[in-house]
Amino acid sequence: MATAHARGAARVMLSPAVVLLLLWMIVPLGMTIWFSFQRYGLLSGMPPEWTGLTNYRYFLTDPAFFTSIKNTLTLVGGVLAITVVGGILLALLLDQPFWGQGVVRVLVIAPFFVMPTVSALVWKNMFMNPVNGLFAWVAKLFGAQPFDFLAQAPMFSIILIVAWQWLPFATLILLTALQSLDSEQLEAAEMDGAGWLSRFGHIMLPHLTRAITVVILIQTIFLLSTFAEILVTTNGGPGTATTNLTYLVYAQSLLQFDVGGGAAGGIVAVILANIVAIFLMRMIGKNLEA
């Protein structure tokens, strides 16, 4: 696309797709913003009317809002910690030559292909259930009292479920990064007298920073909107113990039938997600340059 003519033609060709994508984004966003300024309850039987910032005032002063922010950050942070550390360890393990390596690598990706609702239900009913679950069975085997995960440690349980789904993603990206490391660098370090830990700290980990950045960025985007796992396991409870921002918006609009309040919450979530994104890019985005 060297000439001005070619550039012009390219713009014309691209414009339908760009316009379509823009509408696709702008229309729902515009409608959400519009609704967020309306008193619009589905059960009130009243026609929608303009209320200004009332919806925002109610949403932002709701005690559940702060809990949900805290829960969102706990969930994202917890899952990131588990997947990054676990992913590095698994990648190191899978990078070793062993019999059946190819099959094992395919199996490791498997959890990523299970739908979130399905995997959450499997965890809830087959593993964490205090009566019939596998963990309860193990606990009873040792004569211990079964632990009711979702009641006693609901947030931890959800973090565990979500981390299980995302661990393969992190592992896969980190494994490919690890395999792209020049083996001569490791050999050189070995000759230079670096033990395994030094080689990991001085050679492998710096090599992995870019991949870790990618994992953190992509996962954060998806983890901020975790919903299905919460809906099918705890319904945001007990109380609001596992209500994250996404779930709070859902509860506002579809459990309390308050469309206006839900829309306001949605806009707040969009703004918060952007703030998080800016912070992330500032903090670790520079790793992606060069």
User: Where along the sequence are the contacts to another protein (CB under 8 A)?
Assistant: 182, 184-185, 187-194, 198, 202-203, 206-207, 209, 290
* Nearer CB in complex with another protein: 188/270: 188
Please, what is the minimum distance in Å from the beta carbon of residue 262 to another protein? 47
114 in Cβ contact with 165 (< 8 Å): yes
* Nearer CB in complex with another protein: 173/203: 203
Please, what is the minimum distance in Å from the beta carbon of residue 198 to another protein? 6
Question: Could you give the residue ranges of the DSSP H alpha helices within the chain?
Answer: 4-36, 54-61, 63-95, 101-109, 116-122, 134-141, 149-152, 154-179, 183-191, 196-199, 205-223, 228-233, 245-250, 259-284
- Kindly state the helix (H) or strand (E) to which residue 49 belongs, with its residue range: strand 49-50
* Nearer CB in complex with another protein: 95/190: 190
46 in Cβ contact with 123 (< 8 Å): no
Q: CB count, 10 Å around CB of 150?
A: 22
169 in Cβ contact with 161 (< 8 Å): no
* Nearer CB in complex with another protein: 189/228: 189
Please, what is the minimum distance in Å from the beta carbon of residue 91 to another protein? 18
Please, what is the minimum distance in Å from the beta carbon of residue 209 to another protein? 8
Distances (CA, A) of 178 to 54, 87, 209: 52, 11, 11
222 in Cβ contact with 244 (< 8 Å): no
Please, what is the minimum distance in Å from the beta carbon of residue 289 to another protein? 13
* Nearer CB in complex with another protein: 137/196: 196
* Nearer CB in complex with another protein: 185/235: 185
Please, what is the minimum distance in Å from the beta carbon of residue 22 to another protein? 39
